[in-house]
Structures are given as structure tokens and as C-alpha cells.
Amino acid sequence: MANFGMHAAGAIAAGIGCGVMSLIAFNGNNPAFAGAAAVAAFIGGMLPDIDHDEAIPIREVFSLIAAVVPAMLIPIMARKGFSTEETICFFAATYVGIRFVGAELFKRLTVHRGIFHSIPFIIAAGEAVALSLMNLTPPERLLIGASVTIGAFTHLLLDEIYAVDFTGRKLKKSFGTAIKFWS
């Protein structure tokens, strides 16, 4: 299994590739979108390890979600007439609930190299991202969704490559557990 540094390098390479693919697809007219494609591929490259209880991706993903979700709800709460104090309490409770309770529940319900290390999951993740980006054009949505899937596939591929002992010319026990169609 590749380590975090190798997965990060692979995700960066996938991101650069997807960014270049975006520039080519849109004739270089939108470099910011190419950056978004690169970031989507990088996130996809980290996504399969979200089920690893001690890995960096699970901690970072739940920290990000815990901060973003309540922040996105602040304008809605302001329109509904919530006071500043109520909004702060809601933000803090939501953050703690997602970051600690949600993360712990997720850890208990998932197993490393389970469904998150499968072809159907990485395809579904790319599709979910593409479907959620309603403000983009269909080609842009497709490219961002594909970038997530490409980044995630890079992760799975690196895990399989690192499951081969090239010096001893043998397969490690983990060979065949990264790229699969079911779990």
C-alpha cells in the first residue's frame, strides 16, 4: 500500500493532468476552471482513504465538512431571524457534532479497503459531484466529475502497484484488494 506522500504525489499528478485536459477541452479560455479540475482530482485522489481510521484524509475531510456545513447555513439562519448568539451556538454544536460524533460514527460503520476502495464507489463519487454542480454547464460538470474519478482511480492504482514486491518478484498479501468491483 502506498503511503500518504505517494498518494498526495499521485493526486497532484492526476490534478495536473485533469487541469491540462480542461485547458485543452475549453481551448485555454478558463484557467480558473482548470484549477478547479485539478483540485477535484486531488480530492478524488485522497477520497479512497476516507475509511482509514488513522489516516490524514478522514481527519481533514470531517474537519472541512464540519466547518463548511454550518458556515453555509449562516445566511439562511440570518434570513430566518436567528440572533447572533443563536447562530454561534448552532455553528459550534454543528461543528462538534460533525467533526467528532459524525467522524466517530463513520469510523465505526466503515472498514478500510471496503467499499471506498472500489470502482463503483469512485464512479459514483464522480457522478455525485457532477450532479451536484447545477450551476455549471454539462461539459464542465462532466469534466469535474471525471476529475474526481480519475484522481480516485490514481489512488487505487498506486495501492495495487505498491502491492507488488518487484525486488523479490512476488505479490504481497494486499494485492488485489485496492481495485475491486465489490466489497
Count of Cβ atoms closer than 10 Å to residue 13 Cβ = 16
Name the pairing type of β-strands 170-171 and 164-165.
antiparallel
Report the percentage of the chain scoring pLDDT > 70: 89
List pLDDT tens digits, range 35-68. 999 999 999 998 888 888 877 878 888 888 899 8
Mean pLDDT, to the nearest integer, of 63-78?
Answer: 89
Q: Which residues 6+ apart lie within 8 Å of 119 measured at CB?
A: 153, 156, 179, 180, 181
pTM: 0.77
- For the chain, strand residue ranges (E) read 164-165, 170-171
Specify the 3-state DSSP secondary structure of 118.
Answer: coil
List pLDDT tens digits, range 131-158. 988 889 999 999 999 999 999 999 999 9
Q: How confident is the model at residue 166 (pLDDT cuts 50, 70, 90)?
A: low
Q: How confident is the model at residue 17 (pLDDT cuts 50, 70, 90)?
A: very high
The residues that bridge with 171 in the sheet, in sequence order, are 164
CA distance 100 to 17: 35
